Each structure stands twice: as structure tokens, then as C-alpha cells.
């Protein structure tokens, strides 16, 4: 049966994350995988399993989620995305579909991923985001020092044990990950984005790193504290876990790093 690789975007606010969740004796939670499997199965004419490359959490967005499904549909490949989108809700979209080899696995074959965390800082009146940005940025009343954040961001680059920057680290076989880049840049007078790419991420890892960088921008965390957290694996040395709405999965690469 041919395998299709899908590129999917979604606004995560009203989803309980990517992964399908069927609590015993209760209605299934609304997840991206659940919606995709229900709609794609109806469109393609048979039950499907849509396997995603990244298990984004509740409220986290994606511009570049990658998934795969097997289908024997008669619908031409170039029309599959349009056909599925015609039945999908407005907060999820298939951007493209292509035939790949039957050995393609979205999770194990991924070589790098990139997440972006968006912040609005120096909010004058409250910690509420502007009405048209409220689902996509986190807000702090504090003015952030971008140079301080950049100095701390450099500490994360490389292969480290990120246990101090993970939620429930004991659920993973290893907490060692490689961060390829960690960039902090201003995108406006009060907007800053944090972009982190690596070979994989632990649960809440990007949100905790983002919280650590926020504290660095306030002058409350210095590079030596981050280096100590990496060395000792002490969660108390890292910053808070930022809310999910500011986080977006930007892309997933396969093959050589670029």
C-alpha cells in the first residue's frame, strides 16, 4: 500500500495536542491526530493511521508538522491535500502530500527539528496579549535585555544532558540531546522570538529553555547558572515552563542537516 508524507499546519489552541487520546469510558479528546485520522479516513475511503513526527502539547501550534499514512485511494496524489482540506476544520490544514517509500518513518528518520517561541515584553498595562496576538505570544511586563538572552542562549548549543530542562525526564530512556542552534532576536520594539533547532527535544524542553532565557533577559539568570544546571541536572537552576501558546513547530528536516 503506498505511503504518503503529509506536511500539516495547525493552530493548537483548541486541540489537546497532536497525539490521539481516548480516555476509557469517555469521549475522545480533540487532538490533531484524531481529527486527521477521522477526516482522512472518510475522504480516502478506508481507516487510516496518521503517524506524526512530533507530539506537540496542548495549545502548541505547528507550521511544519510531518506525518505519514498508508492508503490505496484512487484519488490522485496531487489532489489528496485539497480533498482532505475540504473536510477539515479551519484550525488544521494539509499543506502538501507526496508519495514516499514504504520504509519512511516520520519520527525515526527526522534529523532535525526547529521550534519558535514568541514573546511580547514590556507590556505596560497587563500581562494580557493584544487581542489579535493572544493565541500566539506569551507576555511579560518586564523589558528584556536581548544581549543577555543571547549570551545565555549560546550555552545550550551542543550535545548535553538536558534533564534540568525537561518535564518528567524519567519517562525517557535518555535525556541527552543535541541543540544545533539557539537564536534570540528582536522582531519589533516589544517582540522577541527564540528559535531552537536540534535532533530532538524532551517534554517541555523548549518551553523551559524559553523560560530560562526570559529570566536571563530580566537579569536573573547568568550563563554560569545554565552551565551549572546542565552539569548538575538540577531543575531548580533552570527557569519556569512557559505557556504553550507562544510555541510553534516550525519545521522538521530529513536527510543531511542544513
Condensed to tens digits (0 to 9), the pLDDT of residues 47-89 reads 999 999 999 999 999 999 999 999 999 999 999 999 999 999 9
Do the first three CATH levels of 3-100 and 110-254 match, i.e. the same topology?
A: yes
Sign of CA dihedral 161, 256, 61, 147: positive
- Average pLDDT on 108-114 reads 97
- Nearest of 5, 14, 4, 55 to residue 249 by alpha carbon: 55
DSSP letter string over 151-180?
A: HHHGGG-EEEE-GGG-SSGGGSS--EEEEE
CATH for 110-254, among 3.40.1500.10, 3.30.70.660, 1.10.468.10, 3.40.50.300? 3.30.70.660
Cell 475522545 sits on residue:
28
* CATH number, span 3-100: 3.30.70.580
Condensed to tens digits (0 to 9), the pLDDT of residues 123-153 reads 876 667 888 999 999 999 999 999 999 999 9
Identify the pLDDT of residue 1: 87
Number of residues that make up the chain: 258
Percentage of the residues of the chain whose pLDDT score is greater than 90: 90
Q: Which of 108-117, 163-172, 188-197, 205-214 has the lowest mean pLDDT?
A: 163-172
- Residue from 14, 22, 57, 70 carrying the catalytic annotation: 57
Rounded Cα–Cα distance for residues 223 and 211 (Å): 14
- Nearest of 49, 43, 94 to residue 70 by alpha carbon: 49
pTM: 0.95
Is position 234 annotated as part of the catalytic site? Answer: no
Sign of CA dihedral 98, 101, 107, 113: negative
Identify the pLDDT of residue 125: 64
Rounded Cα–Cα distance for residues 254 and 256 (Å): 7
Q: E strand or H helix at 232, and its extent?
A: helix 223-232
Identify the pLDDT of residue 258: 47
Whether 255 contacts 111, CB under 8 Å: yes
Q: What is the mean pLDDT of the chain?
A: 95
For the chain, the domains span 3-100, 110-254
Amino acid at each position: 500500500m503506498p505511503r504518503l508524507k503529509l506536511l500539516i499546519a495547525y493552530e493548537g489552541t483548541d486541540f489537546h495536542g497532536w497525539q490521539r487520546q481516548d480516555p476509557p469510558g469517555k469521549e475522545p479528546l480533540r487532538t490533531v491526530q484524531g481529527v486527521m485520522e477521522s477526516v482522512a479516513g472518510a475522504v480516502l475511503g478506508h481507516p487510516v493511521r496518521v503517524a506524526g513526527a512530533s507530539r506537540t502539547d496542548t495549545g502548541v501550534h505547528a507550521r511544519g508538522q510531518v506525518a505519514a499514512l498508508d492508503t490505496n485511494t484512487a484519488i490522485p496524489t496531487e489532489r489528496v491535500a485539497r480533498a482532505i482540506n475540504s473536510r477539515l476544520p479551519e484550525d488544521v490544514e494539509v499543506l502538501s502530500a507526496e508519495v514516499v517509500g514504504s520504509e519512511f518513518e516520520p519520527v525515526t528518520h527526522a534529523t532535525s527539528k526547529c521550534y519558535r517561541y514568541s514573546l511580547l515584553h514590556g507590556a505596560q498595562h497587563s500581562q494580557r496579549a493584544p487581542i489579535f496576538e493572544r493565541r500566539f505570544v506569551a507576555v511579560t511586563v518586564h523589558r528584556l535585555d536581548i544581549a543577555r538572552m543571547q549570551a545565555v542562549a549560546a550555552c545550550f548549543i551542543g550535545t548535553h544532558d538536558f534533564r534540568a530542562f525537561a518535564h518528567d525526564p524519567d519517562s525517557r530512556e535518555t535525556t541527552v540531546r543535541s541543540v544545533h542552534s539557539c537564536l534570540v532576536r528582536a522582531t519589533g520594539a516589544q517582540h522577541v522570538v527564540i528559535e531552537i533547532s536540534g535532533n530532538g527535544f524532551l517534554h517541555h524542553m523548549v518551553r523551559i529553555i524559553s523560560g530560562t532565557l526570559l529570566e536571563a533577559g530580566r537579569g536573573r539568570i547568568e550563563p554560569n547558572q545554565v552551565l551549572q544546571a546542565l552539569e548538575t541536572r538540577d531543575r531548580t537552576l533552570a527557569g519556569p515552563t512557559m505557556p504553550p501558546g507562544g510555541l510553534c513547530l516550525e519545521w522538521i528536516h530529513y536527510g543531511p542537516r542544513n
